[in-house]
């Protein structure tokens, strides 16, 4: 049987198994997984590129009858 790959946790850098038995993969723990989620929610992590939504969306919110 093939041995599961070892990866470093993106948050704490601890070596952890990347396998179905690790429900937090690629993270080492629920704590590191939640820290990463918080970074995305606070926009500390971003994917480069143009925004998907433009100012038209915010104008629609200001004037709900405008379609």
Complete domains list, the chain, with CATH: 5-62 (3.30.50.10)
Q: How confident is the model at residue 60 (pLDDT cuts 50, 70, 90)?
A: low
Find out whether 32 is annotated in a ligand binding site.
yes
Q: Give the number of other CB atoms < 10 A from CB of residue 53.
A: 7
Q: What is the pLDDT averaged over residues 51-64?
A: 61
DSSP tag of 8: E
* Residue bearing the bigger pLDDT, 42 or 65: 42
53 is known to lie in a ligand binding site: no
In tens, the pLDDT along 6-55 reads 999 999 999 999 999 999 999 999 999 999 999 999 988 888 888 776 55
Token output for 45: 């992590």
To the question of whether residue 9 is assigned a binding role by annotation, the answer is: yes
The predicted pLDDT at position 48 comes to 85
CA angle 34, 9, 5 (to 5 degrees): 130
Q: 38 labelled as ligand-binding?
A: no
């Amino acid at each position: 049987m093939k041995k599961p790959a070892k990866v470093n946790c993106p948050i704490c850098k601890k070596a952890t198994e990347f396998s179905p038995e690790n429900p937090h993969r690629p993270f080492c723990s629920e704590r590191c997984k939640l820290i990463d989620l918080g970074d995305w929610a606070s926009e500390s992590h971003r994917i480069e590129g143009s925004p998907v939504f433009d100012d038209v969306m915010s104008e629609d919110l200001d004037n709900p009858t405008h379609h």
